[in-house]
Amino acid sequence: MADFQENGLPKIPEVFNNDYPENYKLRPQTFALTREELKETLEDGTPKLLTMDINICEDGYVEAVNRGLDRRDKQELNKRAEELYDCDIGCEHCFDCKTKTNNPLMKTEEVFAMLLEAKKLGLKMVKFLGPGELLHNPRLFEILDFLKDNDIRIGIFTKGLICGKTWYSQEKFGMETKEFCKKLYSYPNVSLLFNITSTDKKTELKRINSKKNPDLFEIRNKGFENLANVWFNKDISNQRLTLVCNPVLNDNISEVEEIYERAIKRNIPIIVAPTMVSGKWLDQKEVKDENFKTEKLVNLYAKIYVMLIRNRLTTLEKIKKDWVSPYAGIPCNQFLGGFMQRKDGKLQACPGNETGPYVYTEDLRRSWPLLEQWKNSLNYILRQKALEKWDDMPLTNPCYAKQELLDFPDDKTPIQKGCGSIPDNFEHRVLKKINEFLMG
């Protein structure tokens, strides 16, 4: 049996050998919603709030930042939020932990209260985005119990350190990594969204240049292997281990198609996306690089779709019906399904963009009820429009946060040419290229 990769990627045996079962789907447990779910409404006909991206901070950090301050002490809150954050990984270009806070940080109990409110509106799943690693939070298992008891699935973005280094799992939870991975697997509502963007150590460490863990590249591979060894990639109808290949930039784009194919042969779906236009990634030169966006990115997505067609994992008709996904083969309907809560209570459309039209309230704790926030959100308006327009709506939304020149309901186009990491008319460009590849 071939391993995942001879060099650079974790060593995991294949599940499929170019021969996928009939009706096999790339459908990570906690990523996309089904068409049927997107049509669900509350008793009064309100489309349900089905999914949220969430932030949860460790208690010690929250207490240290908030102690003795109220929301008017913005400068001091910001200073403390930055200085006191101590992620166990310590990447140089951290996305979430060093961002501004405009309010006291949300306590875990406040996040729980928000989730219970969201549950009444239909919440089915959340994705944990930060700050730092939820898997290192001393209250991890209490948080997972809370979600399980409330029938909420969670996808956890991670760099996998604790799954690959026994010292960490011993230190944090008093168990060996394998035992820790097994315990995670015992939660049927938990899936992992594991970040790997390159088989090349130097390229990967440009993104996760961990001052504290110079051997992070090797540890994360080991962690990924440990998760596969406890069967996280076993169930072919409910995929609980997903590889996140994000961001795709000039330095890794040539590897992505191969990583994609290797992953899916192991029953590991893969999310591919260009850089966000938020946080520190905003400055990536690829956002301004027309050739990268309209040629290289379009080609990559088209090649991935052609590979999926050739493996009988999709058809051209299905792609036209579902639409080309900003995640290349795995739908994104996060934008239509729900919104995102930040560590300081800010509510925004999704993680991909945090500029004006995408921010709904600076502090949801002062803007109850959540139902009103949901009904006034761009996400809700777009979902309603989609439901009115189509009997059978497309499964994926376009990337409302990053794609240039998309029309919004108020006839504004918030992302101008040169400001998004996905070019205008992306779906048509990719479809055209898919046709060219299939003909040629």
Q: Encoding tokens for residue 64? A: 């240290």
Among 50, 57, 94, 249, binds ligand SF4 (CB under 6 A): 94
Residues facing 54 on adjacent strands:
128
As a whole number of angstroms, the distance between CA 230 and CA 190 comes to 14
Q: Say if strands 347-348 and 359-361 run parallel, antiparallel, or are unpaired.
A: antiparallel
Two tokens, residue 350: 């999704």
Smallest separation (angstroms) from ligand SF4 to the CB of 312: 26
Provide the token pair at 373: 């926030």
Among 48, 52, 81, 96, binds ligand SF4 (CB under 6 A): 96
Q: Which of residues 364-393 bind ligand SF4 (CB under 6 A)?
A: none
Using CB under 6 A as the binding rule, whether residue 91 contacts ligand SF4 is answered as yes
Alpha-carbon distance of 157 to 159, in angstroms, equals 7
User: Judged by CB, which is closer to ligand SF4: 9, or 134?
Assistant: 134
In the 8-state DSSP scheme, what is residue 241? E
- C-beta of residue 294 within 8 angstroms of C-beta of residue 429: yes
Q: What phi and psi values does residue 317 have, to the nearest 5 degrees? A: -65, -40
Residue in 247, 326, 345, 414 binding ligand SF4, rule: CB under 6 A: 326
> Could you give phi then psi for residue 94, rounded to 5 degrees?
-65, 135
> By rule CB under 6 A, what count of residues binds ligand SF4?
23
CB 205 to ligand SF4: min, Å: 12
Q: Any contact of residue 89 with ligand SF4 (CB under 6 A)? A: yes
Q: Whose Cβ is closer to ligand SF4: residue 260's or residue 400's?
A: 400
Which string of DSSP letters, residue by residue, matches 6-23? SSSS-----S-SS-PPTT
Q: Is 159 in the site for ligand SF4 (CB under 6 A)?
A: yes
- CA dist., res. 122 & res. 100, Å (int): 30
User: Max Cα separation, the chain?
Assistant: 67
Interaction pattern, residues 331-370, with ligand SF4; x per rule: CB under 6 A: -x-xx--------------x-x------------------
- Contact flags string 256-295 toward ligand SF4, x per CB under 6 A: -----------------x----------------------
Which residue from 194, 400, 423, 433 is in contact with ligand SF4, where contact means CB under 6 A?
400
- Asked if 130 touches ligand SF4 (CB under 6 A), the answer is yes
- The site for ligand SF4 (CB under 6 A) is made up of 87, 89-91, 94-97, 130-132, 159, 273, 326, 332, 334-335, 350, 352, 399-402
